[in-house]
Amino acid sequence: MVLFDGVCNLCSGAVRFIAERDPEGIFRFASLQSDVGRQLLRDHGVEPTEGDPDTIVLIDHGRALERSTAALHIARRLGGPYRLLFVIGSLVPRFLRDLVYDFVARHRYRWFGKQDSCMVPTPELRSRFL
């Protein structure tokens, strides 16, 4: 389960990127702003943030992975050349990865834009959203 900022253009683009490279449909999606997303966070020991969320969360085997760790584990599950990103990225200390992640997260709306409401999935993606 991938939980993402539903109004962020970068995050919505990442969801489309993941879905296109996941033909088996192993990933499901929900926005962090949705009731389902907020409940999934609580169920996995993460307190939902007030205001704009600043992370992506991957719920994987009962664990909530956040920020750069979530992104790397998504890449690993996509397989193929993306698995190499996981291997290389895992060699970088988490605090350094998260510094870069947080920098992009702070500027994502300015660089990529923001919608007034959460992403509406395409008909092809709708079945993969909670």
Are 35 and 63 a contacting pair, CB within 8 Å? no
Reference 49, options 80, 11, 5; nearest CA is 5
Note the pLDDT tens digit of each residue in 90-125.
999 999 999 999 999 999 999 998 887 666 667 677
Question: Coil, helix or strand for 35?
Answer: helix
Q: How far apart are CA 70 and CA 67, in angstroms?
A: 5
Q: How far apart are CA 41 and CA 51, in angstroms?
A: 15
Q: Which domain covers residue 72, as residue numbers?
A: 2-126
Measured CA angle at 45 (ends 126, 95), to 5 deg: 95
Mean predicted lDDT score pLDDT of the chain: 89
Q: Is the pTM of this model over 0.85?
A: yes
How many domains does the chain contain in total?
1
